């Protein structure tokens, strides 16, 4: 994945940081308000060594910030940074794709905490106003 971070493609660079499932799910849980190691571990059922590695990477890459909440015993929490908060639309875009192509049966739903309405994300191209995925794209290499 480190080689991807040097690519000119911003999708590749981003996947180098958060391209594995555990990192995505940690980010989902952080957006749901989880901040502590044990809470992430219980929610995800992830091995402690794997969780430690993923939290370290997400902190190193600036999506989470590690803050000490107890000195005795030493305990840290992980809070979203601006970059981490900006990642929520990415998670919802993946969820919308999953609803369309991997749905069926019992599924988790996401609601706006203020309005109580279910979140139904749409990704729109700012220049054309068209939903992303409805028009052909062209990839241009850097000049």
Domain of 67?
A: 4-89
What separation in angstroms does the CA of 65 have from each of 62, 68, 81, 83? 7, 10, 6, 10
**The total number of structural domains that make up the chain:** 1
Q: Is residue 111 part of a domain?
A: no
Q: Can you say how many angstroms the Cα of residue 96 is from the centroid of all Cα atoms in its chain?
A: 14
Q: Are 142 and 135 in contact (CB under 8 A)?
A: no
Q: Is residue 133 part of a domain?
A: no
Q: Is residue 70 part of a domain?
A: yes
CATH number of the domain that residue 74 is part of: 1.10.10.10
What are the start-end ranges of the E strands in 10-142?
64-71, 74-80
pLDDT in tens, the chain (143 residues): 568 888 889 999 899 888 899 999 999 999 999 999 999 999 999 999 999 999 999 999 999 999 999 999 999 999 999 999 999 999 999 999 998 899 888 888 999 999 999 999 999 999 999 999 999 999 998 88
Q: Are 22 and 41 in contact (CB under 8 A)?
A: no
Which two structure tokens, joined as six digits, stand for 130?
Answer: 């068209």
């Amino acid at each position: 994945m480190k080689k991807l971070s040097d690519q000119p493609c911003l999708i590749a660079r981003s996947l180098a940081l958060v391209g594995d499932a555990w990192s995505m799910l940690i980010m989902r849980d952080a957006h749901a308000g989880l901040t502590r190691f044990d809470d992430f571990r219980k929610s995800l059922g992830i091995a402690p060594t794997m969780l430690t590695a993923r939290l370290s990477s997400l902190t190193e890459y600036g999506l989470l910030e590690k803050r000490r909440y107890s000195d005795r015993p030493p305990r840290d929490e992980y809070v979203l940074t601006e970059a981490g908060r900006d990642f929520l639309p990415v998670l919802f875009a993946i969820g919308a794709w999953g609803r369309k192509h991997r749905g069926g049966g019992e599924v988790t739903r996401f609601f706006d905490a203020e309005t109580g309405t279910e979140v139904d994300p749409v990704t729109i191209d700012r220049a054309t106003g068209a939903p992303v995925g409805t028009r052909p794209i062209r990839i241009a290499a850097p000049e």
